Amino acid sequence: MLVERYQRRVVSVSYGLVGSIHDALEIGQEAFVRAYKNLESLADETRFGPWLMKITTNLSLNFRRDRAAAARRVPVELSDDPLHNGKHSPPGERPGAALSASELRSIVQDAIAQLSAAQRTALILFSIEQLPQRDVAQIMCCSVEAVKWHVFQARRKLREMLRDVL
Partner 1 sequence: MSADALELLSGEWLDERGRIRPDACTDAESDQRGGLADLIAEWQRVDALVRSSLSLDGAVAWDCFGTDLRVRLRE
Handedness of CA 16, 81, 76, 159 (dihedral sign): negative
x/- contact string, 11-40, with partner 1 (CB under 8 A)? xx--xx----x---x--xx--xx--x----
How many alpha carbons fall within 13 Å on the CB side of residue 9?
19
Residue 37 to residue 61: CA distance in whole angstroms: 20
What's the CA gap between 84 and 101, in Å, rounded? 10
Question: Residue 140 and residue 18: Cα distance in Å, rounded?
Answer: 16
Q: Which window, 44-52, 54-62, 65-73, 120-128, contacts partner 1 (CB under 8 A)?
A: 120-128
- If DSSP codes are grouped into helix, strand and coil, which group holds residue 44? coil
Residues 137-166 that bind partner 1 (CB under 8 A): 144, 147-148, 152, 155-156, 158-159, 162, 165-166
Residues 61-100 that bind partner 1 (CB under 8 A): 82-83
Q: Tell me the closest approach of the beta carbon of residue 135 to partner 1, in angstroms.
A: 10
Please report how close the Cβ of residue 11 comes to partner 1 at its closest, in angstroms. 6
Q: Which helix (H) or strand (E) holds 7?
A: helix 2-18
DSSP 102: H
Question: Among 59, 61, 124, 140, which residue sits at the site for partner 1 (rule: CB under 8 A)?
Answer: 124
CA distance 129 to 136: 10
Residues in the site for partner 1, rule: CB under 8 A?
1, 3-4, 7-8, 11-12, 15-16, 21, 25, 28-29, 32-33, 36, 82-83, 104-105, 108-109, 112, 123-124, 126-128, 130, 132-133, 144, 147-148, 152, 155-156, 158-159, 162, 165-166
